[in-house]
Amino acid sequence: MKNKFKIISLFLLLPLLSNAQKKYVVETKTVNVQIPKTLWGLFFEDINRGADGGIYGELIKNRSFDFPKPMTGWDTWPNGKIREGIFLINNNLLETNNPKYLNVDITMKDTVGLINFGYEEGISYKKGLPYKFTIRYRQNSANLHLRILLINRDNKPIMSKGIILPSKADEWTTFETNITPIDSSTAGKFLILFEGEGKISIDRISLFPSDVYKNRDNGLRNDLVQKIAELKPGFLRFPGGCIVEGNQLVNRYQWKTTIGPLEKRKLVQSIWADDVKNRLTPDYMESMGLGFYEYFQLCEDLKTEPMPILNAGMSCQFDEKEIVPIEQITPFVDDALDLIEFANGSVTSKWGKTRSELGHPAPFNLTYLGVGNENWGPQYAERLEIFTKAIKNKYPYIKIVNATGYSRNIPVFSYMDSVLRARKADIIDEHFYDTPEWFMKNANRYDTYDKKGPKIFVGEYAAQTTKIGSPDNKNTLKAALSEACFMTGLERNADVVSMASYAPLFGHITGWQWTPNLIWFDNSKSYNTPNYYVQQMFSTNSGTHLAKITSNNSSITGIDSLWASAVVDKSNKTLIIKVVNMNSSETDFNISSDIRLGENIKIYSLSGEANKENSFDDSKNIKPIFSESKANLTKLKPYSLTVLKFEII
Ligand code: AHR
């Protein structure tokens, strides 16, 4: 009876929008679901040189000589003419986090040097921009002088600076100075010369541009932070991804060795060094220069919820599958408890004090914590239970993100899903890397989920145009639109889906192991993919409350090759409709609504050729175009995502 009334009242409202072809019905009064502020977030992992060689501002690769092959990234100067014994790597086995350093020993007056090639294509220099050079050294005489040179792509110096280190230094000492190139260059190098006679030990040679985000020491690349900021993420998942697990436990991510002075941070080999056989990157190490303090600080800057994911006592289950015996799991659980204390504890607590000493007395307000990345099976379930009890016991307010392996409706997933539902878990993390067709077909996946059960975090997803993990996958418009189709389904089910993030976020144009990615970059610039714009169109139009958009009472998940969802933004009285047109031709779209709408429509449309991508040469090939209309009938462009914004009057 109630339903009948609803239909009649909508019918009566139709004349308000004088158009004969009203086909799609929007109801705003019948749903009372708030859109979670966390719905559209980001997944950050140091994959594809996302951190070292990417957003982390350091320009020198292997600055501390701690790579497994300590001269990786370096060459001596002049090439081939160095006398035996001048450069010697020392390995201090008593120092576990930062064991190696370089001794330079010049017994007869000479000039020798070290050249660093930076990451991938080489160092980018900007004319007139100061670069901060830092050296950590120890010396027992002050007879050696230094000279640093910025070298351009033609092997010509674009600035040189002589340095007289202040004095003899028995203890490790840090010296800093700025150097400003007189010209710009990509594919540059950095040269440090040692002039005279004497001995010096070096533990870090570092170079940062001064235009890093917020001009911070040890800062992040500004253009890449801006790209993230412009997505207005509701949360930031970190540090992964598979690097959480590591290919072996020894290479897992351990947050405690990523904070504090750089020389205390422990470099580990990335799982991405050799995990992708056709994209080997043997020099892929994680310096941890972008560690957990920098991460929390970034979340605060971006006003986004932090979501750390921690190791569950298991290495990557696609890889070596090592597990920590259950009786030895306590240090792993303690890591989780200590991280919460580091983020939220009072300055009198052990880890709260550490945070305060690092410069942040105020808490970082952590409420989400993941245990395990893509873990599954009874061993994971057993370990997860121990973590959960300990975390909930001490911090009942923390919402735990629980893994389900690599998702879909396969036994691995179903097992974890049923375990987690029986345990009334807070949040279940599902991952999808699949074909564009799969994403289109599965826009209704969450329609049947138990809305009173655990919340869903679609923690990783991306349409794969060729095959999962294939180096031929492309960021085409069609792939992006298929994700948009799926996302209308996430939005329609915002009462159970509370978070979602595309993955991976970054891909270095030559240094990648995985494709597709949301943002492609090289050492000086970056561009947005169509997938980026899809994410942005959803996240910047998230609304405050769900509305309902239907055709003949069915949700629009492929009807007429259209996919749609609707929200209301009560804060600025707007009805927002997102509609994906997968037709190869223009398609009419018109709505009737149970509320009175203004006649002006703001329209943002992302469209183009289905198989086209953006690129450095054509970075704006596919991007949203804004227009305004008074017409009742919207023409949806072929292959498009359109956001329609109506004023509610
Ligand atoms: O996003 C790339 C990888 O895909 C992640 O590291 C992992 O969690 C998933 O398998």
For the CA of 433, the nearest atom of ligand 1 = 4
Name, in order, each residue with C-beta under 8 angstroms of 267's C-beta and a sequence gap of 6 or more.
Answer: 64, 66, 67, 98, 285, 286, 287, 288
Query: What Cα–Cα distance (Å) separates residue 360 from each residue in 71, 300, 351, 353, 354?
Result: 36, 11, 12, 9, 9
Distance 503 CA to ligand 1 centre (A): 7
Q: Is the beta carbon of 316 within 6 A of some atom in ligand 1? A: no
Q: Which residues contact 195 (CB under 8 A, 6 or more apart)?
A: 110, 111, 144, 145, 146, 147
pLDDT at 85: 87
Each residue of 218-246: pLDDT tens digit?
999 999 999 999 999 999 999 999 999 99
Token pair in block for residue 258: 């990523």
Task: State in Å: Cα 242 to ligand 1 middle.
Answer: 6
Listed residue (368, 344, 338, 403) closest to 238, CA to CA: 368
573: Cβ contacts below 8 Å, ≥ 6 apart? 647, 648, 649
Predicted confidence band of residue 22 (pLDDT cuts 50, 70, 90)? low
Ligand 1, atom 3, lies closest to the CA of 241
What's the mean per-residue pLDDT of the chain? 94
pLDDT bucket at 21, cuts 50 / 70 / 90: low
pLDDT in tens, 290-331: 999 999 999 999 999 999 999 999 999 999 899 999 999 999
Cα 62 to chain centroid, rounded: 22
DSSP 53: I
Placement of tokens 């997933």 in the chain: 413
Q: Is the CB of 241 under 6 A from ligand 1?
A: yes
Angle at which helices 530-539 and 477-492 cross, to 10°? 20
pLDDT, residue 7, reads: 35
Asked if residue 528 lies in contact with residue 519, where contact means CB atoms within 8 angstroms, the answer is yes
Residue nearest atom 9 of ligand 1, based on CA coordinates: 241
Distance CA 41, CA 62 (A): 32
Ligand 1, pocket-test mutation among 42, 43, 45, 518, most atoms within 8 A of CB = 45
CB 460 near ligand 1, within 6 Å: yes
Distance 240 CA to ligand 1 centre (A): 7
Q: Of these residues, 374, 430, 491, 613, which one is catalytic?
A: 374
Separation CA 551–CA 290 (nearest Å): 49
Is cis: bond before 166, omega within 30 of 0? no
Q: What is the CA radius of gyration of the chain?
A: 27
Atom number, ligand 1, closest to the C-alpha of residue 460 = 1
| Residue pLDDT, tens place only, 147-176 | 999 999 999 999 999 999 987 888 999 999
Q: In what order do the strands lie in the sheet with 455-463?
A: 42-43, 235-238, 305-310, 368-371, 399-403, 427-434, 455-463, 497-500
Residues ≥6 apart with Cβ < 8 Å to 314: 245, 249, 321, 322, 323, 324, 372, 375, 379, 380, 383
Q: Whose CA is nearest to atom 6 of ligand 1?
A: 241
**DSSP3 helix / strand / coil % (the chain, rounded to 5):** 25, 35, 40
The reported pLDDT for the residue numbered 631 is: 74
In 3D, which of 517, 553, 543 has the Cα closest to residue 45? 517
pLDDT at 6: 36
What 3-state DSSP class applies to 494?
coil
Tokens of 336: 């989780």
* Burial of residue 261, with CB atoms counted within 10 A of its CB: 0-12 exposed, 13-18 middle, 19 or more buried: exposed
Give yes or no for residue 644 having a pLDDT over 60.
Answer: yes
Rounded Cα distance, 61 and 73, in Å: 6
Q: 504 CB under 6 A from ligand 1? A: yes
* Residue from 43, 46, 47, 468 whose mutation best tests the ligand 1 pocket (most atoms within 8 A of CB): 47
Tens-place pLDDT, residues 103-154: 999 988 899 999 999 999 999 999 999 999 999 999 977 789 999 999 999 9
Residue 242 CB less than 6 A away from ligand 1? yes
Query: Which distant-in-sequence residues (6+ apart) come within 8 Å of 271 by Cβ?
Result: 242, 243, 245, 246, 247, 251, 316, 319
Which residue, by CA, sits nearest to atom 2 of ligand 1?
504
pLDDT in tens, 388-434: 999 999 999 999 999 999 988 899 999 999 999 999 999 999 999 99
Q: How many CB atoms lie within 10 A of CB 200?
A: 22
DSSP state of 447: G
Please tell me what DSSP assigns to residue 40: B
Phi, psi of 336 (to 5 degrees): -65, -45
Residue 504's pLDDT is what? Answer: 98
Q: Is 628 a catalytic residue?
A: no
Q: What is the pLDDT of residue 20?
A: 40
Task: Give the Cα separation of 119 and 443 in Å (integer).
Answer: 40
pLDDT band at residue 64 under the 50/70/90 scheme: very high
Cis previous bond, 78, omega within 30: yes
CB atoms within 10 A of CB 94: 5
